[in-house]
Structure 1
Amino acid sequence: MHILFLTDNFPPEMNAPASRTFEHCREWVTAGHKVTVITCAPNFPKGKLFSGYRNRIWQSEEIAGIHTIRVWSFISANEGFALRIADYLSFMFSAIIAAFFVRRFDVVIGTSPQFFTVVAAWITALIRRKPWVFELRDIWPESIRAVGAMKSSKILDLFEKLELFLYRKADHIVVVTESFRKTLTQRGIDTAKISVVTNGADLSLYEPVAKDQSILQALNLQDKFVVGYIGTHGMAHALETVLEAASIASKSPAGKQIVFLLLGDGARKRHLVEQARLMQLQNVIFLDSVAKDEVAKYWSILDAAVIHLRNVHLFETVIPSKMFEAMAMGIPILLGLRGEAADIIRISGAGICFEPENAQSLAQATLNLVARPDNVSNISEAGRRSAKLFDRKVLADRMLTILQTKIYQK
């Protein structure tokens, strides 16, 4: 089978969409299938080209056996709704054109959260008379409302009509949570054409390892309890809560040994750095994004990992992929989420849940971990056991089976 995959995030970008797509495609190639990915020049999240790349009309490379076609797009930082839409639309048109030159593929996959990529998949499938799959990783228009990134409800209403149109036109929909399947079913989408393939972790990359002493020494963290947030610093993540929790924890005697480390970039990064400066926080460290093969080293120095989203109903349906990476490495999770993700943490015992956007709740959860080293060890072991249920290889095989049985053999 020849799979054509359209995505605007792909390595060397290291966000969750890029990792999921790459790891699935890599496993499909290993299973003997041909995979072609159409993407753009890597630039997320700063809106700056990665070293060694140019924003050309067409360039191609092989990555782990995946034929990767990179097309031109309007590049902008992940901030400002109009600029982001220009980015998404330009990639959509470029991807449609590029797909004309891909020969003899059997199925098209378009991945969200922004569904202009999915529009490109639908148009490509329509023109080439091939089946197509909508991979739904985020209820995108509703998430824009949830974080207040756009005020015009009329435009968002129009986007939601397009969203529903794409759900109906898709030959199959792959969602990342059971909550998403329930939401789509309630909105009138045939549940028979919806499958769930959750996020997960590459267990060959994320596994328990000794703390990287060179990083600890460079950051002067040898005797500290390191609480880390690794990922995008965006509006949805409300990382101001982490800064406030750091301030609260610093006032406790036990909190003197706690340091909060935030690694990554995003639309709110500069604001957060400035806020930490104004709050005179001495127990917060900001680091820029690192290459994907370096991320595990930074995970290794964490004694606990913060995973947090804003306290809105929509995010109760979300399961962040970094949760599984932390579990695989045996890092206790401090989870600021309700819903399906919280259920996984409670059932597995892989962490502690705190109330989203409640800095006092996060600070207290952190202090509880520091006070109970034995509990940290138990949580770590529980996370490692549970991570095996979310092995990316198993999940990639599950999605491949869906493609073969529900799409390719029709």
Structure 2
Amino acid sequence: MRILIVTNYYEPEEGAAAVIITRLARYLARQGHQVTVLTSAPNYPHGRIHDRYRGRFSLSETRNGVRIISTWLWATPSPRISRKFLSQITFMLTAALRGLTLPRPDVMLVEAAPIFTNLAGVFLSFVKRVPYVLDVHDLWPDHMLTVGAMTERHPAYRAARWLVDHTYRRAAQIIALTPYLEQVIRGYIPGMDKVRTVYSGVDLERFRPGLDDAAFRAKHALGNARIVAYIGTLGTAYDCLTMLETAFHLRDRRDILFVIMGTGTQQQVVRDRLAQGDLPNVRWIEWVKYTEIPQAWAATSIAFWALFNHPLHRGAVGTKMYEALASGVPIAVALEGVVADILRESGAGVSVPFGSVDALSAAIRRLLDDPAYYARCSQNARAYAEQHFDAEKAAQTYEAALLKAA
């Protein structure tokens, strides 16, 4: 089967989205499919195109049995929405133009977010008369409501809503990252029976308990402290002040160190709060290579994070949850929704209400001070990941959806 994947993210980028789609493309290639990926010139997370790709409209290469075609976009480090949109629009245009020159595939896999990647993929599907599977990891234009960029009455939102709903209707199959996303899509398009939930999962061999963390601790001067860590992008959904105020509440604990690993649109919030100088128990490591992430989890005693209270955030499941569970790391979070449900069902940690610093602090204290409870959560985490979040099984489901659509 000849498969064309249209995505804004692919390796050598190391963000979660790139890791997930790269893993899937390699799996499909190993199964004997001819896989081509149409993607943007790598520029994440710093908003600067990597040297090898700079100054080129398009670059074609083959790695791990996958043909990768990267096209130019206007890259920007700015967190401003208008500049991000401009960057995404330029990729939509260059991907559509370059895609016209590609041989006709049997089926396409189109990333639904950002919206402009979705539109480029659906345009190519229409021109080439090829069915496509839509991969929904985030809801657009709904996302714009969560950051306050527009309201549902805004003409731009209404136009985008119509376009996205059209891509839902035209799709041969739709794969949603979480049950909440599936529910919302079904709400927009009543009677649709081609939507299903597939958790992207995690590589259970790479992420597992018992890995050696000595080199990672030494590199980042973490000493022997028990680490309470946030590992991931500091995106707009994350309530970084609640996380940092939780660290402030626990500053009396000399045995622990809070470590923030990641960068993103909320990085200035973190920088400004740390500049106040009253959080000696917090370290910020702005970037950790993906090859080091398993060791970062091995060094972590407790994973923690907090989300802002918005209906869409209740349906979010970040890669950090899969990786923490697979690594046997108990989780303490301030949020409600799908992740809270998973923690209750798995017994791998605890969730508290949005924005509750006191409750999140208490949850972390219990995990630190109750060894038996901690051990149960750790064992439950790994067991649940093995049962529900095997990336190999997720890839098999994607392959079946593509075969059905072709």
Task: Give me the whole-angstrom Cα distance separating, in 2, the residues matched to 1:343 and 1:126.
Answer: 39
Residue in 2 that maps onto 1:239: 240
- Range 287-296 or range 118-127, more displaced: 287-296
Residue in 1 that maps onto 2:135: 135
How far the C-alpha of 1:40 sits from its partner, in A, is 1.2
- Range 117-126 or range 168-177, more displaced: 168-177
Match among 313, 316, 321 for residue 318 of structure 1: 316
Match among 284, 301, 304 for residue 303 of structure 1: 301
Residue in 2 that maps onto 1:168: 169
How far the C-alpha of 1:160 sits from its partner, in A, is 1.7
Equivalences for residues 399-410 of structure 1 within 5 A: 399-405=398-404, 407-408=405-406
Decide whether aligned partners of structure 1 residues 271 and 51 sit closer, same or farther in structure 2, where only a CA change above 3 A counts: farther
Post-superposition CA distance 1:99-138 (Å, at most 9, x none): 1222231111211321111111111011111111211111
SS at match of 2:193: helix
Answer whether contact 1:77 1:267 (CA < 8 A) is retained: no
Q: AA paired with 1:45?
A: P
Q: AA paired with 1:234?
A: G
Residue in 1 that maps onto 2:48: 48
Decide whether aligned partners of structure 1 residues 351 and 234 sit closer, same or farther in structure 2, where only a CA change above 3 A counts: same
Post-superposition CA distance 1:359-384 (Å, at most 9, x none): 22221111111111222211111111
Q: Does 1:88 align with 2:92?
A: no
Q: Which runs of 5+ in 2 are unaligned?
A: none
Answer whether contact 2:247 2:281 (CA < 8 A) is retained: yes
Task: Give me the whole-angstrom Cα distance separating, in 2, the residues matched to 1:122 and 1:189.
Answer: 21
How far the C-alpha of 1:325 sits from its partner, in A, is 0.9
Task: Give me the whole-angstrom Cα distance separating, in 1, the residues matched to 2:328 and 2:36.
Answer: 34
Answer whether contact 1:41 1:55 (CA < 8 A) is retained: no
How far the C-alpha of 1:11 sits from its partner, in A, is 1.5
Residue in 2 that maps onto 1:118: 118
Q: Does 1:101 align with 2:101?
A: yes
Match among 371, 378, 381 for residue 380 of structure 1: 378
SS at match of 2:168: helix
Q: Which runs of 5+ in 1 are unaligned?
A: none
How far the C-alpha of 1:312 sits from its partner, in A, is 1.2
Q: AA paired with 1:380?
A: S
Answer whether contact 2:303 2:329 (CA < 8 A) is retained: yes
How far the C-alpha of 1:291 sits from its partner, in A, is 2.2
SS at match of 1:256: coil
Answer whether contact 1:92 1:120 (CA < 8 A) is retained: yes
How far the C-alpha of 1:344 sits from its partner, in A, is 1.1
Task: Give me the whole-angstrom Cα distance separating, in 1, the residues matched to 2:4 and 2:233.
Answer: 27
Q: Which runs of 4+ in 1 moved over 6 A?
A: none
How far the C-alpha of 1:181 sits from its partner, in A, is 1.6
Residue in 2 that maps onto 1:340: 338
How far the C-alpha of 1:82 sits from its partner, in A, is 0.9
SS at match of 2:275: helix
Post-superposition CA distance 1:321-368 (Å, at most 9, x none): 221111111111112331122111111111111222222222111111
Task: Give me the whole-angstrom Cα distance separating, in 2, the residues matched to 1:370 and 1:199.
Answer: 30
Q: State how many pairs are aligned.
A: 404
Decide whether aligned partners of structure 1 residues 259 and 50 sit closer, same or farther in structure 2, where only a CA change above 3 A counts: farther
Q: AA paired with 1:230?
A: I
SS at match of 2:35: strand
How far the C-alpha of 1:275 sits from its partner, in A, is 1.3
- Range 86-95 or range 348-357, more displaced: 348-357
How far the C-alpha of 1:52 sits from its partner, in A, is 4.2
Task: Give me the whole-angstrom Cα distance separating, in 2, the residues matched to 1:355 and 1:85.
Answer: 33
Decide whether aligned partners of structure 1 residues 62 and 81 sit closer, same or farther in structure 2, where only a CA change above 3 A counts: same
Answer whether contact 1:55 1:71 (CA < 8 A) is retained: no
Residue in 2 that maps onto 1:395: 394
Residue in 2 that maps onto 1:267: 265
How far the C-alpha of 1:171 sits from its partner, in A, is 2.2
Q: AA paired with 1:162?
A: L
Answer whether contact 2:134 2:173 (CA < 8 A) is retained: yes
Task: Give me the whole-angstrom Cα distance separating, in 1, the residues matched to 2:150 and 2:228.
Answer: 32
Q: AA paired with 2:202?
A: A
Task: Give me the whole-angstrom Cα distance separating, in 2, the residues matched to 1:25 and 1:187.
Answer: 29
Post-superposition CA distance 1:151-176 (Å, at most 9, x none): 79332232222221221222221111
Identity of aligned residues (%): 28
- Range 225-234 or range 356-365, more displaced: 356-365
Answer whether contact 1:326 1:333 (CA < 8 A) is retained: yes
Q: AA paired with 2:265?
A: A
Task: Give me the whole-angstrom Cα distance separating, in 2, the residues matched to 1:231 and 1:80.
Answer: 20
Q: AA paired with 1:171?
A: A
Task: Give me the whole-angstrom Cα distance separating, in 1, the residues matched to 2:58 and 2:50.
Answer: 16
Task: Give me the whole-angstrom Cα distance separating, in 2, the residues matched to 1:118 and 1:190.
Answer: 22
How far the C-alpha of 1:97 sits from its partner, in A, is 1.3
